[in-house]
Homo-oligomer: A and B are copies of this chain.
Amino acid sequence: MTLLDSLFRYDALDRIFSDSESVQSMLLFEAGLVRAQATAAIIPESASRAIAAQCRVENFDFAALQKSAALSGNIAIPLIKMLTELVAKQDPEAARYIHWGATSQDVTDTATILQLRRAFELLDQDLRQLTTTLATLADTHRSTPMAARTWMQQALPTTFGVIAAGWLDAILRHHHRLAEIRPRVLTVQFGGAVGTLAALGEKGPEVARLLADDLFLTLPLLPWHSHRDRIAEVATTLGLLTGTLGKIARDISLHSQTEIAELFEPAAPGRGGSSTMPQKRNPVTCAVVLSASYRVPGLVSTLLSSMTHEYQRGLGGWHAEWETLPELIRLTGGALHHLAEMLPHLEVDSARMLKNLDATNGLIFAEAVTMALAPALGKPAAHEIVEVSAAKALAEARPFKAVLRDEPLLQGKLSPADFDRLFDVRYYLGSSDDFINRVLAAAKDSSPSPG
């Protein structure tokens, strides 16, 4: 727990990756293993019970674990040793059967998978909340006009609803991606020292299946310990999600600029304010989400570049995952959670959006005018008249509409009603409504996999 955790992360998700929960997840594996082996008649039922009874995190000395981890190179080795000592105190006979035929990587990897399952549930919850909020924004603001900007310059009108629908559409794809990887990722790792389950003789497949069932995990075709694509695809999938979250935060922060002032993170006592600069509404959530979007790509590249594990166990490559994957999930999950919490309270200043559409003195409607004149004059001629008139409007700082009205070549070409329509944002929104409807329908249909 560090000072910055509340800012960058989400406590419920953090807890899943705490040392305590990591160790407990490893103990769940050990308990599942002895149950499976008792069922397969490899070890006595009584030993299984005696061992499982000790598989509780509160029985373990973390300071000693930490110290031994530095010597053995992982947590699993000293943990098994401690577990053996604990069991031996109660039932020396049972202690023989701990971790039978398994290896450190089996328990470490499977514990990670168990933690991932819980993390996926929380991510799904926040994705669902985000989906609901974005659908509401898209629907509510389907007729809220604002300037669309390309190259960071005002281009044409759009609506805030279309923008929110675009955000939503991307989020829906992330739902699907997470649903796709889930069965592939949530897979037990159990291969023994080198992936042959040699120590279990003929019983390997049976025990593996029983263990997978016990832990409600998929049984893979064979142990995957030295093939890390399952782990790395958690990283890449969350990397993609973080990219989208960052895009949304980038947009909001841009729309929040003093001179644009269209969107604001909610105000609250002590939130994003500055006592000496009361005019400021600092977008704290955007900063948090953007920081994740800067940090996660580097972590993804670490997990990809460490995939080249040597032989039957990676030297360094495997170790590189241990903190990187949880950190990546915590950053993505924190960004997602903070954004999902903030967005329902996003302040939308539709009056200012409308006002900003005037920033170019009507030039934002230049394309509309061109397209309106094109059928009659041809696009090239229409372009030219519009271009010349726009230059004139800019040079003389006059409204574009007025310049066009005075343009000799257009006399008789456009009626006053035409002019009104052409400079009315409502008449130049194209397929916006249709797009919003399509995304909202998809959001409704989408039944993201329950945790």
Contacts and interface: CB of A to CB of B under 8 A. Distances in A.
A140 B170 CA distance: 46
B312 A289 contact: no
Nearest to A306: B294
Nearest to A361: B279
Contact of A304 (B165, B291, B296, B371): B296
A130 interface: no
Given A254-B152, A363-B278, A229 B174 contact: yes
Interface string A103-138: 100000000000000000000000000000000000
B154 A70 contact: no
A379 B98 CA distance: 9
B359 A169 contact: no
A294 B300 CA distance: 11
Nearest to A262: B259
A296 to B, nearest CB: 7
A277 B247 contact: no
A302 B298 contact: yes
A414 interface: no
A161 B199 CA distance: 19
**Looking at chain A, what size class is its interface with the partner chain?**
35 or more
B253 A315 contact: yes
A318 B282 CA distance: 14
Interface string A261-300: 0000000101111111111111110111111011111111
Contact of A244 (B227, B240, B243): B227
A70 B5 CA distance: 8
A224 B166 contact: yes
B258 A442 contact: no
Given A4-B322, A277-B156, A169 B308 contact: no
A106 to B, nearest CB: 12
**Residue among A75, A148, A324, A383 with the highest chain B CB neighbour number at 10 A:** A148
A218 interface: no
B430 A246 contact: no
B158 A277 contact: no
Nearest to A180: B180
A312 B155 contact: yes
